[in-house]
Amino acid sequence: MSNDSKSIGILTAGGDCQGLNAAIRGVAKAAINQYDMEVIGFLDGFRGLAENRYERLAGDSLSGILTLGGTILGTSRDKPHKMSVGDKVIDTIAQADANYHKLHLDALVCIGGGGTQKNAMRLLKKTDMKIITLPKTIDNDVWGTDACFGYDTAVEIATEAIDRLHSTASSHHRVMVVEVMGHNTGWLTAASGLAGGADVIVIPEIPYDIDVIKKSLIGRNRKGKRFSIVAVAEGARPKDNSEIPTEYEGSAAMHLTHRLAELTGLETRLTSLGHVMRGGTPSAADRILATKLGTKAVELIAQEKSGFMVAERGGYAVPVPLEEIAGNRRIIPDNHPLLNSLRSLGICLGE
């Protein structure tokens, strides 16, 4: 290592997803092999940065992690400006800045979803840290990028679950409601619902009319189709918000399941996929995306760039100013091809 080579830190923050270790590996290996940099990984997201907990990343620690789920660095939803410490909530931005300089870092790579992009922006505004971010989340809702890593694998998992629900739905002649994660967006539900052949797909972007869904299920039953699959995003909401009683707050799918059973008289069951969707080995597409964005991040650091998220755009890894990203959320636009295809197929979207 030469005297003028750089040192960089990496952290993973927010909910975990598949491809995080591929991204850590991509950043660290490119930094070491191509630019002779030193690399450390902060543990448990922004908390590790504030508490100066880190490990050196090289050789063995980067071997065999490409295919691993989760993150070898650990993660947390802690925010640097509002961190719980004992019974207090404190601003740790000055601590984070001091640790960054104490370790003689030239840049920090923050890997996370929408919340992480906002937290990185806060650090950029209040310190002189150099920061590059990467977009990860199963929700696929980070603004400014065509895709986030984690999403492809989660779509596969949800699709397999819907495939498996078909046979039991068919044997018992039931309506099977499946709740799919995705926070306040419907990317995961729309994609896995399409790939799994769901009959009804309910997403937050299209507030649902319960009567429309009822008619669709009864219509199928009358045509002799004795089972139905209803894919519901966890953030789904009825057209009339007052319709969700307090006992079902936080579970639109549970409410929908009970109401559909009442309204249709059909036997109905709910399956909630939950955190299973974030577990296990990443798909090839997620490994490739995470590596592509991770290695590009290092190229930007080598060029002394800061304040960018590396986005996927048209198949290329492209730097986008973080100020354009932070605070925005990417929802499914109404004219998106995914929704157009679902409508063309006659899938009920509850609209």
Instruction: Summarize as ranges the residues that interact with ligand F6P (CB under 6 A).
Output: 15, 77, 113, 137-139, 181-183, 234, 278
CA pair distance 114, 1, nearest whole angstrom: 35
Residue 15 vs 48, nearer CB to ligand F6P: 15
CB of 188 to ligand F6P, least distance (A): 7
Among the listed residues 106, 139, 141, 152, the single catalytic one is 139
Q: Closest approach of Cβ 114 to ligand F6P, in Å?
A: 8
Residue that is written with structure tokens 């994609």 in the block: 191
Q: How many CA atoms lie within 13 A of 82 on its CB side?
A: 6
Cβ 16 to ligand F6P shortest distance, Å? 8
Residue with Cβ nearer ligand F6P (97 or 234): 234
Q: How far is the CB of 102 from ligand F6P (least distance, A)?
A: 30
Query: Which residue of the chain is nearest ligand F6P when measured via CB?
Result: 181
Residue placing its CB nearer to ligand F6P in the complex, 113 or 186: 113
CA distance 85 to 76: 14
Residue 139 designated active-site: yes
Please report how close the Cβ of residue 180 comes to ligand F6P at its closest, in angstroms: 9
Instruction: Give the integer Cα–Cα distance in Å for 7 and 103.
Output: 8
When the beta carbons of 130 and 182 are compared against ligand F6P, the nearer one is: 182
Catalytic residues: 139
